[in-house]
Amino acid sequence: MPTPLTVATVNVNGIRAAVRRGMCSWLAERDPDVLCLQEVRAPDEVLCEILTDALGDGWHIAHCEPTDTGTKGRAGVAVATRLPVGEQRACLDPRFDGAGRWVELDVDTPAGTVTVVSVYVHTGEADTPKQDDKYAFLKAMTARMAELRDAGRPALVCGDFNIAHRNEDIRNWKGNLKKAGFLPEERAHYDHWFDELGWVDVVRSLHPGVDGPYSWWSWRGQAFDKDTGWRIDLQLATPELAALAGEAVVDRAASYAERFSDHAPVVVAYG
């Protein structure tokens, strides 16, 4: 890849609220080549206006808004870039077409086309129908990720996975062993994606054996100040793309008051 490609992913927890809290300052400073968003919670015209105000014209946006009953004002995922683009898709099980949780965009980079996905996995709740929905979504994800791997094109799946993989990905792992987000059945999906499908957790590959870097902290209490966090916002890449990753950082706010979301952006430079 002749020039670095900067990809940022962040769960904004409502993009209008994030803008009120200062998101545009971060966005203008970072100016990523590709931006993946989760929990957009806004229509296309609002998202386009926000990006244009922050960074200027010329954005191509693949945005999947939720249309299922009861989802208005929730979920919503997007991939935005000013690079040339190709096809946009939402290629999971039809059951999730209106969920606003998966969108793909083919992005034409200087080194060729890369398929970029923004995903927002269900939070879930152990031993409830919400957890059944989460497992069904993860099953559909796995099938599509196998297809993307076999397509012969570099691919990147970015987003809020709502699952911590290993003990070092969650500060209070002992207290969460039986809770959604750290259940063995959830974590096993990572093992399958990495060990059998060949996907690479880019941040972990560049930060081996360390706690975190965490990307989500509860708004409540002193979780942020004490760094009691979870690493659940990831960039998963096919091996040839992962090999180009030279830097991966979490843009953790300097203070609780300066956060624009309960998630911090995860930024990777490829090339």
Calpha distance 194→233 (Å, rounded): 16
Give this prediction's pTM.
0.96
pLDDT of residue 259: 97
72 lies in which domain range? 5-270
Give the domain CATH number at 60: 3.60.10.10
CA dist 47 and 182 (Å) reads 32
Long-range contacts made by residues 169-176, C-beta under 8 angstroms, separation at least 24?
169/204, 169/212, 169/214, 169/230, 169/231, 169/232, 170/229, 170/230, 170/231, 171/211, 171/212, 171/214, 171/227, 171/228, 171/229, 171/230, 172/228
> Binding site annotation covers 122?
no
- Is 160 in the active site? yes
pLDDT at 74: 82
189 appears as a binding residue in the annotation? no
Active site (annotated) includes residue 120: yes
- In this prediction, the residues of the chain whose per-residue pLDDT falls under 70 are 1-3
Tally of domains within the chain: 1
Query: What b/e readout covers 64-103, taking b as 16+ CB neighbours within 10 angstroms?
Result: bbbeeeebeeebbbbbbbbbebeeebbebeeebebbbbbb
* 11 known member of a binding site: yes
Nearest CA to 149 among 121, 186, 117, 185? 117
Q: Which amino acid is at 182?
A: F
For residue 248, which amino acid is it?
Answer: A
| Per annotation, catalytic residue among 63, 122, 165, 263 | 263
> Which of 106, 120, 214, 270 does the annotation list as catalytic?
120
Find the catalytic residue in 33, 63, 122, 160. Answer: 160
Residue 162 assigned ligand-binding role: yes
Is 263 known to be catalytic? yes
